[in-house]
């Protein structure tokens, strides 16, 4: 009788130990899965950050005209990315295209003066067809397709009188401060777009 009870006690103890081991194994698997997920997630974030940093560097230092050209430059730098992913990156980074005298259209970063706003603006200045004021609003008319490109150097310059801009296809709306300085505003616009003086 003693041996049977002793054996039963040992079996119960072993069963409990095995259940404990299984439970610990499940916890270990869950922990490893979580670690792998976090590592892969961190890797994706790191890759995305590295890719965007490289995109900024290329756009700042080169005149890039197309996604195909940018994809090629990224590949040369060891970054393999699909065109759909690159397109999403450019949209998330608010990259715009503006006309360039020699290269057609080039990519520019928001709030960037690397490609010299004055130089670019001189090339597109002739595409402004009119300017008018009403209260604290200024409307700049352009040739079709140029409004967005012309609004970029205005935004980048950070004119004190301008609270913000809205660009369509051939019209730019400048929202001005209530008591804006007309003389200073026009000086800034003349600096960007010399052809405005002749309108």
- Domains by residue range for the chain, with CATH: 48-93 (no CATH), 117-198 (3.30.1360.40)
**Alpha carbon distance 59, 86 (integer Å):** 13
> Of residues 5 and 7, which shows the higher confidence score?
5
Single pTM value for the model:
0.48
**Alpha carbon distance 129, 152 (integer Å):** 17
Judge whether residue 124 has pLDDT over 80: no
Judge whether residue 144 has pLDDT over 70: yes
**Alpha carbon distance 136, 85 (integer Å):** 41
3 state SS of 95 = coil
**Alpha carbon distance 80, 129 (integer Å):** 43
Phi and psi at residue 150, to the nearest 5°: -75, -30
% the chain with pLDDT above 70: 70
**Alpha carbon distance 14, 166 (integer Å):** 75
% the chain with pLDDT above 90: 36
Chain length of the chain:
199
Mean of all residue pLDDT scores within the chain: 77
pLDDT band (50, 70, 90) for residue 24 = low
> Of residues 110 and 197, which shows the higher confidence score?
197
Judge whether residue 60 has pLDDT over 50: yes
**Alpha carbon distance 159, 153 (integer Å):** 10
How many Cβ atoms are within 10 Å of 98's Cβ, its own excluded? Answer: 21
């Amino acid at each position: 009788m003693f041996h049977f009870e002793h054996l039963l006690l040992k079996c119960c103890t072993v069963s409990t130990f095995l259940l404990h081991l299984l439970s610990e194994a499940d916890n270990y698997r869950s922990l490893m899965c979580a670690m792998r997920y976090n590592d892969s997630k961190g890797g994706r974030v790191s890759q995305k950050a590295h890719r965007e940093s490289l995109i900024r560097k290329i756009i700042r230092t080169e005149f890039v005209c197309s996604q195909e050209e940018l994809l090629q430059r990224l590949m040369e730098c060891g970054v393999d990315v699909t065109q759909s992913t690159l397109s999403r990156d450019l949209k998330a980074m608010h990259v715009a295209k503006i006309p360039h005298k020699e290269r057609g259209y080039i990519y520019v970063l928001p709030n960037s003066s690397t490609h010299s706003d004055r130089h670019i603006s001189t090339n597109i200045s002739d595409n402004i067809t009119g300017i008018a004021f009403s209260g604290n609003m200024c409307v700049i008319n352009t040739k079709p397709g140029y409004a967005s490109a012309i609004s970029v150097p205005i935004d980048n310059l950070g004119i004190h009188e301008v609270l913000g801009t809205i660009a369509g296809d051939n019209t730019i709306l400048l929202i001005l401060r209530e008591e804006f300085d007309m003389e200073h505003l026009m000086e800034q616009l003349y600096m960007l777009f010399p052809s405005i003086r002749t309108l």
